[in-house]
A and B are shown apart, each in its own frame.
Chain A
Amino acid sequence: MQLDKKLIGHTFKPFTTTVEAGKIRLFCKAIGEEDPIYTDEAAAKAAGYRGITAPLTFLRALQADDPNKGGLLRLLNVDIGLILHGEQHFEYFAPVVVGDEVTCQEKVVDIYDKKGGALWFVVQEMEMKDKAGKLLAKGKGVTVVRNPDAAKK
């Protein structure tokens, strides 16, 4: 298996999603987060937020709302069982709250291998903007692809 470095620079189609209270509630249950700013509008507003707030790493869940989800794996022609998450970074410019319509766009910024091609690394950058086009957050993720051929050698 070898990944095509010509895919560096590939830009995915942007998509827009609406931030939903129910999804945030389930996310908080999963991570054990109990601060009411994530579930109760009055508590969120009392704490100075515009509304029920998306937790810091919920942005990745918003990315998963992409109607073309799985685009990276299809682009690379890689099975989902071979990937691991190598790194994730977010920069925050403004809180994202329930009801916001956010637009996400991702692009591939680097592809490289280590250990003689046993592991491949795909670096993606993401921008998330509000309806007015104001930048809410930036993300950078590294996906690690385990080369299934490496174990056979």
Chain B
Amino acid sequence: MATAPKFDSIKVGDQLKSLVLPPVSRHQLALYCGGSGDHNPIHVDLDFAKKFGFKDVFAHGMLSMAFLGRLVTSWVPQKQVRGLGTRFTSITWVGDVITVSGKVTGKREANGEKLVDLEVKCTNQNGQDTLQGSATVALA
């Protein structure tokens, strides 16, 4: 469980401790299909993926976004997270090794809260960003 850092101790440019995930597996995609309620066969059925022009099945974008969420809640408790968003910038394939990283991009006060803005992203083993996102957390 995360213990929140203090607002005053945070500086723009601070890096969060990265997460390096196990390679994405077909088994994980099957679990995510069931766990997320996203039953699009393109993520689990090779025949279906090929029919629509893909070489293989590929990960749900939301699986990688869940990794962004894990990074943020490894840094602050979830109840202090005010926002999480991302663009899905490239496809994550079976076997890809995803690193989730983040850094502080801003500090501000709004709605009576001290807020810290973060850049968060997923990057594959070739150094290509698969998700480019941002998050906002409230700190004391």
Q: A residues within 8 A CB of B86?
A: 87-89
> Residue of A at shortest CB range from B27?
A30
Cα of A68 to Cα of B113 in the assembled complex, Å? 38
Q: B residues within 8 A CB of A47?
A: 1, 77
Please give the distance in Å from A148's CB to the nearest CB on chain B. 9
> Residue of A at shortest CB range from B34?
A26
B18 at the interface (CB under 8 A from A): no
B28 at the interface (CB under 8 A from A): yes
State which of A57, A64, A81 has its C-beta within 8 Å of the C-beta of B52.
A81
Please give the distance in Å from B126's CB to the nearest CB on chain A. 20
Chain B interface mostly helix, strand, loop or mixed?
helix
Instruction: Determine if B37 and A87 form an interchain contact, defined as CB atoms under 8 angstroms apart.
Output: no
Instruction: Determine if B32 and A30 form an interchain contact, defined as CB atoms under 8 angstroms apart.
Output: yes
Q: B residues within 8 A CB of A92?
A: 81-84
Instruction: Determine if B67 and A85 form an interchain contact, defined as CB atoms under 8 angstroms apart.
Output: no
Instruction: Determine if A81 and B48 form an interchain contact, defined as CB atoms under 8 angstroms apart.
Output: yes
CB-contacts of B36-94 with A (<8 A): 36-38, 40-42, 48-49, 51-53, 60-63, 65-70, 72-73, 77-79, 81-88
Cα of A31 to Cα of B78 in the assembled complex, Å? 16
Q: A residues within 8 A CB of B32?
A: 27, 30-31
Instruction: Determine if A30 and B36 form an interchain contact, defined as CB atoms under 8 angstroms apart.
Output: yes
State which of A60, A87, A140 has its C-beta within 8 Å of the C-beta of B88.
A87
Instruction: Determine if A57 and B77 form an interchain contact, defined as CB atoms under 8 angstroms apart.
Output: no
Please give the distance in Å from B72's CB to the nearest CB on chain A. 7
Cα of A29 to Cα of B63 in the assembled complex, Å? 11
Instruction: Determine if A29 and B31 form an interchain contact, defined as CB atoms under 8 angstroms apart.
Output: yes
Instruction: Determine if B1 and A84 form an interchain contact, defined as CB atoms under 8 angstroms apart.
Output: no
Instruction: Determine if B51 and A60 form an interchain contact, defined as CB atoms under 8 angstroms apart.
Output: no
Q: B residues within 8 A CB of A4?
A: none
B112 at the interface (CB under 8 A from A): no
Cα of A87 to Cα of B77 in the assembled complex, Å? 24
State which of B31, B63, B67, B87 has its C-beta within 8 Å of the C-beta of A86.
B87
Q: A residues within 8 A CB of B78?
A: 37, 53, 55-56, 95
Can you list 6 A-B pairs, Cβ within 8 angstroms, ordered by A?
A32-B21, A64-B37, A69-B37, A86-B87, A86-B88, A88-B86
Sample of 16 more A-B contacts, CB < 8 Å, known A37-B1, A81-B52, A90-B84: A29-B31, A30-B35, A30-B63, A30-B66, A32-B21, A56-B81, A57-B66, A61-B36, A64-B36, A65-B37, A82-B52, A88-B85, A90-B85, A92-B83, A95-B78, A140-B85
For the complex of A and B, list the 3 residue pairs with the smallest distance between their C-beta atoms, beginning with the closest: A64-B37, A89-B85, A81-B52
Q: Which chain A residues have a beta carbon within 8 Å of chain B's beta carbons?
A: 23, 26-33, 35-37, 43, 47-49, 53, 55-57, 60-61, 63-65, 69, 79-92, 95, 140, 151
